[in-house]
Amino acid sequence: MNNARWIAAAAALAAFAVPVVLTLSWIGAAEERLAEVEAATISDDSPPAVAVARNANEEYCTPELKQILRRVLTSCGLIGGAGGRGCQPLEARNVATMDDADFNALFVPMRERGGIVQYEQGSAELTGPGVQLIDRTFADRRGASYFFVVSRASPEGATDRNRELSRERAEAVMTHLEETFSDPQLEREVGLLWLGEEYAQLDPSFCDWTRSGESGQCESEDLNRSAFIAWIDCRL
């Protein structure tokens, strides 16, 4: 009789132990899988889950450049709570406090990140190649904070009209970004500078940049019917 009770008790204990062992086994397997996932997540070979400003503060991000960028961003309303987005031509000159060549030199180190969107004479309408260049350049953010659009007009026609034309060209880029990219912070990321024909005209040294115009067509007029675009990698 006692033996029967011991056998029954042992059977009950075994029945209870099986799910416990299975549960512990499942937990152990889950913990191992979690450890594997976490290890893969933090592996040096794995891409980051979010964009990281790896290129921020590169060698060209000198204190002088940062000071100029900060002035431009503040004047254009991107930082510091100043005014609206966009700078008028003379404001851009005053904020930069430098001559044309030095202003353009600020952007030369950004050649690999930037591009020049070109327009037809007297037009602010984006071309197919221009749209492709904007999309490709904007998508290649790499964690940068600010996207600059610096538009110009060639010295053909009235100065006042060229001011307006360069503004329309900058706004055409912004409108395309708004319609293409779902980014609620867009207006806090994109700085528009329109320079007209009066300031910082591009010279032929910019012909070998990535441009949306025809490769064999790069006169001064062609270059300056344009909008320079680039992400700024400096931390301010």
Give the pLDDT score at 35. 38
Residue length, the chain? 236
Q: Model confidence over 111-126: pLDDT tens digits?
A: 888 999 999 999 999 9
- Give the H/E segment covering residue 6: helix 2-41
Read off the pLDDT band of 232 (50, 70, 90).
confident
Q: How far apart are CA 136 and CA 129, in angstroms?
A: 11
DSSP letters along 77-102, please? Answer: TSSTT-S-S-B-HHHHHHHHTS-HHH
Task: Please answer whether residues 132 and 213 qualify as being in contact, where contact means their C-beta atoms are separated by less than 8 angstroms.
Answer: no
- Poorest-confidence range of 32-41, 83-92, 202-211, 220-229? 32-41
**How far apart, in Å, are the Cα atoms of 70 and each of 33, 66, 124, 170, 226?**
47, 6, 28, 20, 24
Read off the pLDDT band of 73 (50, 70, 90).
confident
Helix-helix angle 63-75:89-96, to 10 degrees: 150
* Residue found under tokens 């921020």: 56
- Give the H/E segment covering residue 118: strand 115-118
Query: Is the backbone of residue 143 left (phi > 0), alpha (psi -120 to 50) or beta?
Result: left
Closest to 175 (Cα-Cα) out of 196, 156, 149, 199:
149
Task: Please answer whether residues 191 and 182 qualify as being in contact, where contact means their C-beta atoms are separated by less than 8 angstroms.
Answer: no
Q: Model confidence over 20-70: pLDDT tens digits?
A: 333 333 333 333 433 332 333 323 333 333 333 444 566 778 787 788 778
Q: How far apart are CA 11 and CA 58, in angstroms?
A: 71
Give the pLDDT score at 90. 56
Q: How far apart are CA 141 and CA 144, in angstroms?
A: 6
- Helix, strand and coil in the chain, % to nearest 5: 50, 10, 40
Q: Model confidence over 147-196: pLDDT tens digits?
A: 989 999 999 999 999 999 999 999 999 999 999 998 888 888 888 888 99
Is residue 209's pLDDT more than 80? Answer: yes
Give the pLDDT score at 160. 93
DSSP letter (8 states) at residue 49 = S
**Other C-beta atoms within 10 Å of 211: how many?**
21
Is residue 8's pLDDT more than 70? Answer: no
